[in-house]
Amino acid sequence: MRMAGARRHTLRDIAATLNLSVNTVSRALSGKDGIGEETRARVRAEAERVGYVPNSMARSLVLGSAMTFGLAITNPSNPFYAQLISTIETRARSHGYSLLLTVTEESEEHEMRAAESLLRSSVSGSIVVPVQSGTEAWRRLGSVGVPTVLINRDLPDLGYRFVGTDNELGGYRATSHAIERGARSIVVLEEDLPITTIDHRIAGFRRAMAEAGLPVPRGSIMRVPTRRHEQAALPWQPQQAYQVARRMLRRTRLPDAVVAGNDYFALGLYRALEEHGLKVPDDMMVIGFGDHPFSAFLSPPLTTVRLPAEEIGTIAVDLLLEEISGTPIARPLKQLIAPTLVERGSTQRS
Amino acid sequence: MRMAGARRHTLRDIAATLNLSVNTVSRALSGKDGIGEETRARVRAEAERVGYVPNSMARSLVLGSAMTFGLAITNPSNPFYAQLISTIETRARSHGYSLLLTVTEESEEHEMRAAESLLRSSVSGSIVVPVQSGTEAWRRLGSVGVPTVLINRDLPDLGYRFVGTDNELGGYRATSHAIERGARSIVVLEEDLPITTIDHRIAGFRRAMAEAGLPVPRGSIMRVPTRRHEQAALPWQPQQAYQVARRMLRRTRLPDAVVAGNDYFALGLYRALEEHGLKVPDDMMVIGFGDHPFSAFLSPPLTTVRLPAEEIGTIAVDLLLEEISGTPIARPLKQLIAPTLVERGSTQRS
DNA sequence: GTGAAAGCGCTAACAA
DNA sequence: TTGTTAGCGCTTTCAC
């Protein structure tokens, strides 16, 4: 590699060989008018010939914006975020924007650095999954005029635009579904992390139980110790959920259904149940969250709440685009997308 | 949002308020010597006070390099690539480099645009998973002196550095393992895509069979129709593999073992076998590829070939760093990392 | 329709 | 130790 640096051609090079001014070449290539058709053709031909590629740095410097969106994600190995990355990159690119990705690993320290990095890079806008409740990192971005939309987890204090899943509704639907299928006693298995998504799901669970007149005794909410900080490059691990589930199975009265915070937890639960000789769904129903690609193929197939990753990513990019173009935005400041329940075998009693 | 643009402070602002030259401020902040300790302190304090953030665009423009690595990935939703992204971003950042992510969606057209985008952005180096065998897109990058390392799939014609999995060895180990466990007749289930990784795995399979003196009759290699082009934002789907597996199960003589090209295919196979009333591993052994996070928790747990994502990502970044710093690189041009077989229940006959 | 000049914010010579 | 000058490659006035 390092091919003896065949230096990149610049506008000046083209101008020189064509005996034109840099300015003319610039305007010819950028499609502006006020230029002779013939000149334009000559410039284009020469640019093509030497393989001219504009220098974004220079362009950004003078324009003040880099035609780049920043994306701050906690963990790309979480399938939900992976799909978000994919959607956002594709949509951003289709509008001419590149994507600068920063991984925050659920650490507020990384988050600070990420925000600073995006600031340095003069991103035209940024899409952020905040780590937790800390607002400091992202406040700066907004205060220097970088349009910023939060996704998945809101930071209400900032007053930024937000697009996320209606987790309360998700929790409600999952729980109601279990109740409809005959569950009276339900346990929730959630990661032990102080973030709004989880709180909302639990709130939805409580609402469904209350509406059905069912009690929510102590121990109904079980927490799976988080390992995100140690294993930020990995998705959730079923292992911890498995262990928590085993603890649950030592109880004298077992629940009829378990609503898991994500499909990996459901997977850990499946094993614990199997080892315990319990059948899903006849002995216990299981509902997951996320509709991960494996879930439809588990045995039994997992009923789960599908999260609107694509929709969230698309809206986030569109919001940025609208804000940048100055279009008045009709959408609400906070936008919650309803997740859909995917009914499968794990709640289908025969 | 768009907080009435509190303009970012520049070196000049600081210089003005402190009655210094821009240059002095620059050197004070960048830690160069030849500057009075007191001056430096004053500059730092002022920078801190106004929340100075350097402008990367300007810096890159004069330096000629953006302290950014480009990463071209086919599909972030593939767990292997997701982990690669995570590893690469983290390691790059720890050395001060940002990550510009481009998603190529297994499309050569996207790939061309991605390459051009990285070129425009003056990335300091790039890490690329090539889509297929087309070399054109990435040749440019090298020819203008951007260090480029290919990962996962090589393009031998380019002569670039390459770090990937030793898929031949992976295929060999998976197959040998099945043979050791008593399999005589083995089928391989691979995606129908003309890429080297797949070819190599199949080659390893053949070698293992040959060494054991086992025949490889027609129909031993079954192809799962690819859907990557339609569903580039999704990981592999078990569905297609399931259908191919069902076709296989209509044969009069069934294989003793199936080696799947990835764990999702194995999952599709699990269902087909279950529906057919066949038990894993007693009726048929199954081996996957990738060691996806769900695989250890399937029933039975899936024996699979673990891919060295972290190692590949780390090495790729290190190669770039070494190349940029001009360090002579001791490593071979092409580096294959051995994958490890993770033995689990799906090949453990009782 | 085209060119000359200025400047985006920064760093790297070279002077003072 | 500090300031001056020049320039990275591009776009945007404003003359011609």
> Are B316 and B88 in contact, with CB atoms under 8 Å apart?
yes
Among all protein residues, pick the one whose CA is nearest to the C1' atom of C13. Answer: B23
- Token pair recorded at residue A202: 């639990």
For residue A38, report the phi and psi dihedrals to the nearest 5 degrees. -70, -45
pLDDT for B316 beyond 80 = yes
Q: Are the beta carbons of B233 and A93 separated by less than 8 Å?
A: no
Q: What is the DSSP letter of B94?
A: H
* Best to test chain B binding among A1, A48, A138 (most B CBs inside 10 Å): A1
Pairing of β A340-342 and β A303-306: antiparallel
- Chain A nearest-CA residue for B161: A1
pLDDT of residue A6: 66
- Whether the Cβ atoms of residue A124 and residue A321 lie closer than 8 Å to each other: no
Mean pLDDT of A257-266: 97
| Mean pLDDT across A92-103 | 97
Query: B293 vs A238: CB contact, 8 Å cut-off?
Result: yes
Q: What percent of chain B has pLDDT over 90?
A: 85
Amino acid in position A110: H
Mean pLDDT in residue range B291-314 = 97
**pLDDT (mean) for B185-208:** 95
Mean pLDDT value across residues A298-306: 97
* A348 CA → D1 C1’, Å: 80
Q: Closest partner residue to B3 among A8, A77, A142, by Cβ?
A: A142
Nucleotide nearest to B64 (CA to C1'): D8
Q: Is the CB of A50 under 7 A from strand D?
A: no
CB contact under 8 A, B61 and A55: yes
Strand partners, B142: none
- Give the per-residue pLDDT at B190: 96
Which pLDDT score is estimated for B276?
96
Torsion of CA A42, A48, A49, A53, to 10 degrees: 120
* Interatomic CA distance for residues B199 and B185, integer angstroms: 20
Query: Listing from the earlier edge strand, what are the strands of the sheet with B285-289?
Result: B221-224, B186-191, B257-260, B285-289, B303-306, B340-342
CA of A100 to C1' of C3 (A): 37
pLDDT at residue A233 in the model: 65
Inter-chain CB pairs, A–B, below 8 Å: 214
The least confident of A324-333, B165-174, B238-247, B283-292 is A324-333
Query: Is the per-residue pLDDT at A241 higher than 70?
Result: yes
**Cβ–Cβ gap A57/B53 under 8 Å:** no
Q: H/E element holding B57?
A: helix B56-63
Is B34 (CB) below 7 Å from strand D? yes
Predicted confidence at residue A232, as pLDDT, reads 64
Of A233, A296, A310, the CB nearest to B83: A233
> How far apart, in whole angstroms, are the C-alpha atoms of residue A263 and residue A287?
8
Using the CA of A21, which nucleotide's C1' is the nearest one?
C3
The two beta strands, A334-337 and B303-306, are unpaired
A278: which DSSP letter? P
C1'-nearest nucleotide to the CA of B32: C11
In sequence order, the β-bridge partners of residue B2 are: none
The whole-angstrom separation of Cα A5 and Cα A92 is 31
- Give percent of chain A above pLDDT 90: 85
Q: Which amino acid is at A198?
A: I
Estimate in Å the CA A62 to C1' C5 gap, whole number: 15
CA distance A247 to A226: 16
**Set of chain A residues whose Cβ sits within 8 Å of the Cβ of B6:** 143-145
Q: Give which of B240, B161, B237, B223 is closest to B188, Cα–Cα.
A: B223
The proportion of chain B whose per-residue pLDDT surpasses 70, expressed as a percent, equals 97
pLDDT in tens, B58-101: 999 999 889 999 999 999 999 999 999 999 999 999 999 999 99
B36-46 pLDDT tens trace: 889 999 999 99
Task: Check B299 against A144: CB less than 8 A apart.
Answer: no
Whether the per-residue pLDDT at B231 is higher than 80: the answer is no
Residue type, A106: E
From B2, B116, B234, residue closest to A145, measured CB to CB = B2
B97: nearest Cα among B309, B321, B314, B323:
B321
pLDDT for A3: 43
Which whole number is the average pLDDT over A35-63? Answer: 93
Task: Give residue A2's pLDDT.
Answer: 40
C1’ C6 / CA B27, Å: 26
A240 pLDDT above the threshold of 70: yes
Yes or no, beta carbons of B56 and A143 under 8 Å apart: no
Q: Answer yes or no: do A3 and B296 touch at CB < 8 A.
A: no
Mean confidence (pLDDT) of chain B: 93
A299-313: average pLDDT:
97
| Contact between chains at B93 and A117 (C-beta distance less than 8 A) | yes
Which chain B residues contact residue A264 at CB under 8 A? 293-294
Mean pLDDT (whole number) for A167-196: 96
CB burial of residue B310 (10 Å; 0-12, 13-18, 19+) = middle
Residue of A123, A340, A19, A168 whose CA lies nearest to B100? A123
Nearest nucleotide to A64 (CA to C1') is C8
List the single residue in A1, A148, A242 with the smallest CB-CB distance to B142: A1
Cβ-based neighbour number of residue B278 at 10 Å: 14
Nucleotides of D under 7 A from a protein CB: 1-5, 7-13
Closest partner residue to B98 (CB to CB) among A3, A89, A100 is A100
Whether A118 contacts A72, CB under 8 Å: yes
By C-alpha to C1' distance, C5 is nearest to A23
- Other CB atoms within 10 A of residue B274 CB: 13
- pLDDT tens digits, B233-255: 677 789 999 999 999 999 999 99
In Å, what is the separation between the CA of B13 and the C1' of C1? 39
Which residues does chain A have within 8 Å of residue B268's beta carbon, measured at their own beta carbons? 297
Q: How many CB atoms lie within 10 A of CB B128?
A: 30
Q: What's the average model confidence in pLDDT over B161-181?
A: 98
Lowest mean pLDDT among A95-109, A227-241, B260-274: A227-241
| Mean pLDDT estimate for chain A | 93
Q: What is the pLDDT of residues A100-138, one digit of tens each?
A: 999 999 899 999 999 999 999 999 999 999 998 889 999
More reliable by pLDDT, A226 or A136: A136
Tell me the pLDDT band of A286, cut-offs 50, 70 and 90.
very high
Confidence of residue A32 (pLDDT cuts 50, 70, 90): confident
> Which candidate, A113, A109, A198, A114, places its Cα nearest to that of A153?
A198
Q: Are A309 and A291 in contact (CB under 8 A)?
A: no
**A102 vs B89: CB contact, 8 Å cut-off?**
yes
